[in-house]
Homo-oligomer: A and B are copies of this chain.
Amino acid sequence: MATPVNVGMIGYGFMGRAHTNGYKRCPDFFPELRHQPVLKAACARSEDKIQAFADQWGYESIETDWRKLIARDDIDAIDICVPNNLHKEIAIACAEAGKMILCEKPLAMNVAEGEEMCKAVEKAKVPHTVWYNYRRVPAVTLAKQIIESGALGRIFHYRANFLQDWTISEDLPQGGQALWRLDAEAAGSGVTGDLLAHCIDTAIWLNGTVSDVSAMTETFIKERVHQATGEKTKVTIDDACAFMCHFSNGSLGLFESTRYARGHKALYTLEINGSEMSLRWDLEDLHRLEVFDHKDEGALRGWKSVHVSDHGGEHPYMDKWWVPGLQIGYEHSFVHHVADFMKSLDEGKPCGPTFRDALETQKVCDAVLTSAKERSWENV
C-alpha cells in the first residue's frame, strides 16, 4: 500500500480543478509510486462554493479559513491555488507548520516576497514545488532531454511567445470573481506574471539563466469597469509585454506576450536554435515537437514533426497512457507534476521547479517590469 499524502487544497478555480484532477489520476496511471495523494480537504472563504467543489471532486472535508486547514494534523500537503497576492503569507505559514507545499505560479508578487518564501521552505526543509506545469508536457520534457544530451551544439537563439486574444473587448471588466488576473492588486502584473512567467520558467530550464533584459509593456485599453466597484477606473496591468535578453550562455532571447493577438487562444510557442539542431513547440498542438537535425542527410534535411506518443521509453511519460499515435492533452501536465512530486517523496529528492527555481523566473519578471518602466536595459 502506498503512503497517503493528505492534500489540503486552497482555492477552487480553474487551477483548483486542474490540480485536483492531477491528484485523482495519479494512482490510476502511476500505480507504482509509493506515495499517493488523498483529497483530504478543500478550503475557501465561501462555504457554499467550496462545499460544491468538494462534493464534485470528492474532497473528504472542507474549511473556510486557510489557517485552520494548515493547523489540521491530518493534512500533509497544502496546494496554494489563490491569487498571487496571497501566496507569500500562506506559503510561509505552511512552511512553519511543516506542511509540504504545492504553490501555483508565479511564486510571488515580486522578488522580495519570493526570497522570504524561499528562506521559509529551506529553513523548514519541507518538500515543495511550484506549478510551472509546461515542463511536464511530454514534448517539452523531450526537448529538455535532447538539449541535455548536447545534441544542439552551441546555442544561438531562444524565442518564445504567449499569445491570447480574450481581453480585446472593451466591455470586459477588470478584476473581480474569475477575473483577478486582470487586477494588478491581486495579480501583481498582467501578462508578465501570468503568461511570460511560463515562458521564462521553461526558457531557464532549457537554456539557463538570463543576464539582462530590455522590455516594453503596453496597456491598450486604458480604462475598464471594475467588477468590485462597478466603476470605470484606470487599468494598471500590462496587456502586452515584450522583451529582448541575453542568456548567460551567450545566446539571445526574444519574448512576447499579449492578450490582444486576435486568433490565438493560448499560443505558447518556443524555439531554440543550436549550431547542430533546432527545436520548436507550441501549446495549441502540444503533442508535437518539431526538430531540425543538421546531421540528417543533406538532401533530406527538414523540420520533423514528432508526434510525441511513443512507448518503450522513447517519449517521456507516454508509456503510462494509451498507444502510439493517440495524443494526450493539457491536463496531463498536471498529472505528471503530481506523479513527479510523489516520486520525489519516494526518493527523498526535491521536485523542480522549487521555490528557488521559481525565484529565478521572478527575478526576470521584476527586471522586465523595471526595464519597461525605465526604458533601460536591466541586469537580472
Contact = CB atoms under 8 A, between A and B. Distances in A.
Interface of A: 14, 18, 21, 24, 27-28, 31, 55-58, 142, 145-146, 156-157, 159, 163-166, 168, 214-216, 218, 220, 240, 242-244, 246, 250, 252, 254, 256, 258, 260-267, 273-278, 283-294, 296, 298-307, 309-310, 312, 314-315, 321-332, 375-377
User: Within the oligomer, what is the number of copies of this chain?
Assistant: 4
A301 B306 contact: yes
A339 to B, nearest CB: 14
B307 A304 contact: no
A18 B332 CA distance: 15
Q: Output the residue of A24, A243, A298, A330 with the most chain B CB within 10 A.
A: A330
Contacts of A329: 287, 326-329, 332
Question: Is the contact region of chain A dominated by helix, strand, or loop, or is it mixed?
Answer: mixed
Contacts of A285: 285, 288, 327
Given A286-B327, A322-B18, A307 B314 contact: no
A76 B45 CA distance: 40
Contacts of A376: 375-376
Q: Which of A57, A277, A304 has the most CB of B within 10 A?
A: A304
A330 B250 CA distance: 35
Contact of A300 (B275, B288, B306): B306
Contact of A291 (B273, B302, B310, B377): B302
Contacts of A314: 298-299
Given A275-B262, A303-B304, A24 B28 contact: yes
B322 A14 contact: yes
A258 B149 CA distance: 25
B266 A278 contact: no
A157 B327 contact: no
Nearest to A285: B285
Query: Across chains A and B, which 9 residue pairs bring their CB atoms closest together, nearest first?
Result: A266-B325, A265-B325, A263-B292, A302-B306, A302-B304, A326-B330, A329-B329, A156-B260, A328-B329
Contact of A27 (B56, B252, B260, B274): B56
Given A261-B278, A322-B330, A332-B329, A142 B283 contact: no
